Amino acid sequence: MQQIILVLGWITVIAGVPDATLLTNRSFRGFKVIRALPQHMADVERIRGMMNQPIYDFWTEVILSKPVDIMVPPTYAEEIENNFVKEGIQFEILIQDIQRLIELERIPAKSVNDASEAHNMTWTEYHDLDVIYSFLDYLALNYSFVTTESIGTSFEGVDMRVAKVCKGGCGNKPSVWIDGGIHAREWISPATVTWMLRELVENDQDHPDLTEGLDWYFLPSHNPDGYAFSRTSNRMWRKTRSDLNSSEGCMGVDANRNWGFHWDEGGSRHDECSDLYLGPAAFSEIENVNVRNYVMKRKGDWVFYNTIHSYSQLVLLPWGYTEDLPVDYEEQYLYSVKAAQALAEVHGETYEVGCIPCMLYIASGNSVDWAYGEAGIKFSMSMELRDTGTNGFLLPPDQIIPTAEEVWAFHLTFLRDILETYSSKSFTPFL
């Protein structure tokens, strides 16, 4: 397809180039991440004007007086830098070469003796789904209180497998849901989820109250097709891999803008090629349908829902579709702040706590709002893991275990507080 180059103001536009051509099966050599800091609304509007162009990959949203990280191809980096200087927009080069970080990310960290003869799963490198699933099989085979279940298949026919940690059988205690990898490129998410699963099961003797008082459900990969694609074809892929019959060859939907609770009320995009594409309809993505159906079958059992993301080191609470707060927001906030303090005590990292628009931006159609508002899960949240931008989505493997350790401390504190405060199975939110 021929490239047509237009110039609008100081933004160079490449029209008619599908995202598959721009991104798939290519090196990211020379790609930079530029961090801009819009100080005025005029800065915000100029930077947002770049979001319509597929050559730019916005790693964070454009918000007044907050850093916005933009991945830029090498042929356009100098132009953007010059225009930022001309317009007086503050910026810095956050990452000089994306491909270099990708290559470093593939190098395993030094061994910490976590390898097992029974499975290939470790937390010194990032693994594909087969290895992750072999770890689930290992746990189910060796621990009587662990079982696994497919909650359905992805668009490409891959099983979405949940590990269930239930002493005395599932369904007899308040339940905890933790999922990872709804955004494909956020590899630290499935790695952290599986490390916490291992900690809960293999070190049960260190915290037996958590398995005696709660049933646990772990979905390591919410978006298995996208995750596989990010490993084999495009490290920066974010969306699902559904076929939209797009005239421009664009694939996939942002699965965290596709939930049917206040869907399409801001913070998403209708452009099929955008990383924030909300989909042709609410729950168009089979992966979200699978999770919805599974969770709703157990409605009333759940006490806690956490969907793990990266990056920015945040604990995000409802709502996302509006700046209004739930009536029990203060209780959610206080529990989360205490748990975040426990997190910080592990390795000194700090995670800010607040509602989604308080910390980021309006984001309708997200799973946290759905879990709280539709599924009725009183304590629903999303965590954005390490780091704050130095590596972004390309967190080195030597940070997997430290990240997981601190996130586990968060859950340990939060869920023990729940068990101490509440004694009944029913955790009805104050909607």
Distance CA 176, CA 165 (A): 10
Going by their DSSP bridges, the two strands 68-72 and 57-58 should be labelled as antiparallel
Dihedral, CA of residue 399, residue 402, residue 404 and residue 409, to nearest 10? -160
| Nearest one of 28, 48, 29 to 38, comparing CA atoms | 48
Distance CA 400, CA 422 (A): 32
Write down the catalytic residue from 384, 405, 406, 420.
Answer: 384
**For residues 257 and 268, is the Cβ–Cβ distance under 8 A?**
yes
**For residues 238 and 275, is the Cβ–Cβ distance under 8 A?**
yes
Going 292 to 296 to 300 to 301, the CA torsion angle's sign is negative
In 3-state terms, what secondary structure has residue 360? coil
Which stretches of 89-222 are assigned E, i.e. beta strand?
90-95, 146-153, 159-165, 175-180, 215-219
Secondary structure element (H or E) that encloses residue 350, with its range: none
Q: List the alpha helices (DSSP H) in 88-207.
A: 98-105, 129-142, 188-202
Beta bridge partner(s), residue 92: 35
Distance CA 373, CA 387 (A): 29
Distance CA 276, CA 236 (A): 14
Active site residue 384: yes
Distance CA 75, CA 25 (A): 18
- The C-alpha angle 227, 385, 362, rounded to 5 degrees, equals 90
Residues known to be catalytic: 384
